[in-house]
Amino acid sequence: MIVIINILFQNPGFFQQFADRIYEGGPLAMSLILVSFLMILFLVIRAAMNLKAASHKFRKNISLINQLALIALVIGLFAQFTGLIQIFDAFESLGDVNPAMFAGGLKVTLLAPLFGGLTFLVGRICSFILHWIRKSDLDANSARA
């Protein structure tokens, strides 16, 4: 384990690129989406540990996963719309716009919804898998009884 951590931190390429993209996509929105992603992972682990627990505990975890996933998606879209308005304001003041500059601005506005969409997909897929596992466990237990 320590060897893997040393290898990852000796080659900061991935982490540096990730941090650069978070800063580039808007630190506030991207940080909120990252926090949502980490909370989703925590809740997925908690829901997996509570597969055989009471139904209301499991449903609560799944509901929180789905809500956090949707919040991450909405934050990403809101950040994109805000970024687009800022880009159009900047280009309007410049007058003549270079197509490369315009494409770079559009790329930056797409980072937050992309990360929010990825977080949404991970949350929903994990929610689906947890429901599927719990249903198959409940079906197996009811067949035994």
**Is residue 60 a part of any domain in this protein?**
yes
Domain that holds residue 89: 2-139
Provide long-range contacts, Cβ within 8 A and 24+ apart, for 66-69.
Answer: 66/123, 66/124, 66/127, 68/36, 68/39, 68/40, 68/43, 68/123, 69/36, 69/40, 69/119, 69/120, 69/121, 69/122, 69/123, 69/124, 69/127
**Is residue 86 a part of any domain in this protein?**
yes
pLDDT tens column, 44-100: 999 998 888 778 888 899 999 999 999 999 999 999 999 888 888 888 887 777 888
* Domain count across the chain: 1
**The predicted structure's pLDDT at residue 42:** 96
**The predicted structure's pLDDT at residue 20:** 77
**The predicted structure's pLDDT at residue 140:** 60
**Is residue 144 a part of any domain in this protein?**
no
pLDDT at 1 over 60: no
pLDDT tens column, 4-23: 656 556 666 766 777 777 77
**Is residue 71 a part of any domain in this protein?**
yes
**Is residue 26 a part of any domain in this protein?**
yes
**Is residue 45 a part of any domain in this protein?**
yes
pTM over 0.95: no
**Is residue 145 a part of any domain in this protein?**
no
